[in-house]
Chains A and B, each alone.
Chain A
């Protein structure tokens, strides 16, 4: 940039609500017409929506099955396990907020506020559950305070997240024969818990595979390259449903007799392979964005190929694709609904099951699906909002 940049003064902008109206709504006769038509449309739509939601809709199947929506058929006496997991996440969120700041703050605050609001709702709720809701925002705060300590470093927080992921799986699954942590069959996992778990496992497990595939695709070894390209293009060329069906119908045929893989695990494997192909393309985008000069400089200071990749290229490339990975996580989160087609009881599956559970609820599809859609919307919209801020924070000039 030049040394002196003359800052042009913006011409005085419009002022006052009247001027704003003139500019944005009633500038010309057809603008006015459009505005009136839109106003009428908004009015009719909102009136219809409110009249339906508050007067004619029967929300009984939703309000009566909140536990099912949250956890599926996870045993009542073991509900403390997912509860503990969310508490851990709250605490780690608080710590990350202090240590990493930026966008994490949005996530942490959103989590604390959302659960705090639920805790304050004037509805009938058992005391332990209400206490649990109160405990979450408190733990976010506690984590934030702990984050002040000098001992807590970025890498420790990262390690905490990784450990908590492993602990989550162990805690949910339990062990056979252990009295205080009995095994919970994956057929019992369901609802929002399963939705999140499928998406998280998919994205976490696909990450290393995706990185390897991306490196393989850019490799100078023709055999490796061909295998990687074939895998990536094959998986990206077919819809996710076909891959899920492969996992649920074909995979058992491909395994030796006697080897059985759990149904939820097969769905996770399918999701992982699917996500890995897309992850590979994301990472490849990041690798391509690294200027050749970086590699040459690394060679010049005497790093070998492996070191160049691990210490110079990958860290920069992965940093550049974080927004893309978050975007992929959001897409995968929405794609988990497809698991209902192979008979898993995630959020949408719970909705279907609830509708069939009582004859008088059979025709309440609208209420149930609108609730599920709203739930997805809240999660996805807030995640993509945070992801846009993350993109801006990582953004231009850094790369």
Chain B
């Protein structure tokens, strides 16, 4: 083998890295539009599937324009936010707001349950302002929430409302779309997808046989919000609020359950106003 000087090795590696980086950056830029279009099309297909409209990659745009007659973004009080496009709302950021609120609330609950510690601490005068601080943080986060809703009108002029949901599965994120009938209670359709759940087990949530179980289920028990429980067959009474979990996919199933509760909870003010 030939021997190479250190100088040559440095120059060689530097040149190689620059060439490879330029090449990859160029290719990535070239392919970006096509990739983004794919993601957008997939989103449209998912939204359409939640109102039981089957689409292909080629007709997704047309069907979307035909059936999805409107979209709005709400704040946490159920008021419509102007100048925000439902399609642009970053659900990942929204979900992290839900997480953060939960953390703060549990922190608040901890503070509440130990009055003795509070009493001791009250001499310092710190705790109460602490609580207020947490409280105001929670409402600040709540004020930043953006909740997208898509509105679908079918041929027979029946109207459905579609709500995006997102949460955690076993290995990675799970997400989906839930469509409700005009009574804001009955589920019309549901689609779920996942990033990396176990094939054949948790990954089955993106299969139709699992998703059809959600049709006709109810979110509200009387006036109180109950959401859908995804539970092992036989452990709970079959009711309009339960769906059979996937055997072997317990954590994914529980993830779907938590996702539905956490994400749909934010829409309660909107549900209430729409019902009346």
Q: Are A and B genuine complex partners?
A: no
* Interface residues of B, Cβ cutoff 8 Å to A: none
